[in-house]
Amino acid sequence: MIGTGIDRFARRTVRVPTHDLIVSPAIADLQFEASTHTWWHLPRAYIGAWRAVVGAWVHDACLSVQRPCWASDIRTIAGLVCLQCGYYAGLLSIATITLNRHGRFAPLHLQLLTALRPTDLALLSVAALAISTIPVLALTLPRVGAGDHPTPAE
């Protein structure tokens, strides 16, 4: 059936009410157009359906930002990320203070600190931020997909 793939994809990526109000009518119109119009109308109809999916994402994003609890969520996520960043910064600090450039224990020689270039530090910071942020986001963000509930057509 035309539009089933878009529908299945949208069900996994947008909220249920958004799917029902924005994506589902677009798919229904695509299917109606496919059955009543000639085939050269189809590409434009498909683009319209995909644009409706993109519109649904934007709509969902706007709704998420407007949620009253969003500010609290942001603070929690930022706090968890900062905690992990602090942990990695602490580890790096201990390493630079206690190890020499060959990885041997040599407290207060600060060889690693002098050997590090600004680009190395920037890369380490980005890596620490990434490995702090990704697991926090993966664990805290709820699954927004509408799932595989049966459609009226099915």
- Binding part of the chain for another protein, among 44-52, 76-84, 128-136, 142-150 by CB under 8 A, reads 44-52
Q: Which of 18, 128, 132, 146 binds another protein (CB under 8 A)?
A: 18
Least distance from another protein to the Cβ atom of residue 126, Å: 36
CB of 140 to another protein, least distance (A): 27
Q: Which residues contact 109 (CB under 8 A, 6 or more apart)?
A: 100
DSSP state string for 140-151: HSPP----SPPP
Closest approach of another protein to the CB of residue 23, in Å: 8
CB of 148 to another protein, least distance (A): 15
Q: Which of 16, 21, 95, 126 is in the footprint of another protein by CB under 8 A?
A: 21
Which stretch, 42-50, 66-74, 78-86, 119-127, contacts another protein (CB under 8 A)? 42-50
Enumerate long-range contacts of 21-28, CB under 8 Å, 24 or more apart. Answer: 22/52, 22/55, 22/56, 22/59, 23/49, 23/52, 23/53, 23/56, 24/151, 25/52, 26/52, 26/53, 27/3
Lookup: tokens for 47? 């683009």
Contact between 60 and 22 under an 8 Å Cβ cutoff? The reply is: no
Rule CB under 8 A: say whether 1 interacts with another protein.
Answer: yes
Alpha-carbon 138 to chain mean position: 8
93 touches another protein (CB under 8 A): no
Q: Catalog residues that contact another protein under the rule CB under 8 A.
A: 1, 3, 7, 18, 21-29, 31-33, 35, 44-45, 47-48, 50-52, 54-56, 58-59, 151-153
